[in-house]
Amino acid sequence: MSVVSAKRMLVEAVTGGYAVGAFNVTNVLQMQAVMETAIARQAPVIIQTSVSPTKFLTPEVIVAVFRALAEPAPVPACLHLDHCTDAAFAKRCAELGYTNVMFDGSQLGFEENVRATRDVVEHCHRVGDVTVEGELGTVSGVEDQVRVAESAAELCDPERSREFVERSGVDLFAPAIGTAHGVYLTENPKIDFDRFAQIQQKVNGRVVVAPLIVHGGTGLKPDVVRRLVALGGAKFNVSTDLKHALIDATYDYIATHRTEYNPGKIDTAAKAAVAQRVNYWIDLLGCAGQAQRGGADGA
C-alpha cells in the first residue's frame, strides 16, 4: 500500500534532510507524468490539485485516477487538495479519498482562521488518515481563486505560529515567508530565511509537530530551495512550472506539426516535458531514492 498520509511522509523528509515535491496537476496526463517519474526515481511524491480543476474534473474522477496510479506504485504517494477556502468542499474531498487537504484561512483574522481550520482538521481526522495543511500570513500572486497583491501579502508572525499550529491542530504548516505564486516579478525575490528558521524552531524545535510547507516553488533559485530544505522545508509546491511545461510543449508540437491530427503524439510530447520538470525538482529537493523512508513499507 503506497498511499500514505502527507504528515507521515513529510516527518520522514524532515528527519532525513530532504523535501518532497508537491506537483500541481490539471489533467490525467500530468498525473501520469508525475507518478511515473516518481517511480523511476524512487521518490516519495505528492500530487495536488487546486479547487477549480478539482471541480472541473470532479474529485471522484481525480481520486479514482490517483488510486489507479498510486496503489500499485512502489513509492509513497499522497493526493492533496490545494488552497481550498471552502470548508465544506475540503471536507467532501477528504471523504472521497484525498489523503491531505489544505484549508486556506489565511484571508481570515487569526481567531477565525484558527476556528475554521480546526473545524476542518477535526472532520478530516474523523474521516480517516487524512491530514490537513493550514496557512498563516498570505502568499502573494494568484493561485486558482486566491489572489493576493504583493503589497497586501503579510508574512507569518513566528510568535503566533506555534499558537496557530497547537490551537488549529494542523498536521502541516504553511507560513508566508516571501515566496509568491505564479512567475516571480523580480530576479531575486526577498525570502525571509530568518523568519522561516524561527518558525521551524518554534513549531518543530524539539519534535516535528507540523512539517513546514513552501508555496510558490516555481522560479525559486536552486540555492534558495536548498537553503529552505536545510532549514526544514518539507514540501515544496510546484504549479506554474508544470503548467508552462505542458502548454509550451503542446503549443510547440502543434506549431511544428500543423497538418498532423494525432492527439497521442501531442500528449507524448507534453508528458515528456512535464516529466522533465518533475525530474528537475526531485533532484533539487534530494528525494530521489528516498521511497523506502517515505513510508512505502507502511512504517
The interface with Zn ion within residues 214-233 (CB under 5 A) comprises: 215
CA proximity to 157, closest of 135, 180, 134, 175:
175
Identity of the residue, 73 or 191, whose beta carbon is nearer to Zn ion in the bound complex = 191
The interface with Zn ion within residues 126-145 (CB under 5 A) comprises: 143
| Least separation in angstroms between CB 217 and Zn ion | 9
| Least separation in angstroms between CB 181 and Zn ion | 6
| Least separation in angstroms between CB 105 and Zn ion | 13
192 near Zn ion, judged by CB under 5 A: no
User: Residues 82, 104, 241, 267: which is the catalytic one?
Assistant: 82
- Residue where the block lists cell 471541480: 55
Per CB under 5 A, the segment of 149-157, 207-215, 270-278, 291-299 that binds Zn ion is 207-215
Identity of the residue, 215 or 243, whose beta carbon is nearer to Zn ion in the bound complex = 215
Q: Please identify the residue of the shown chain whose CB is closest to the bound Zn ion.
A: 215
| Least separation in angstroms between CB 256 and Zn ion | 34
Identity of the residue, 143 or 267, whose beta carbon is nearer to Zn ion in the bound complex = 143
CB 268 within 8 A of CB 246: no
Identity of the residue, 118 or 215, whose beta carbon is nearer to Zn ion in the bound complex = 215
Q: How many residues of this chain interact with Zn ion, rule: CB under 5 A?
A: 2
Distance CA 70, CA 58 (A): 18
Examine the residue annotation and report whether 82 is marked as an active-site residue of this protein: yes
Provide the annotated active-site residues. 82
Which positions lie near Zn ion, rule CB under 5 A?
143, 215
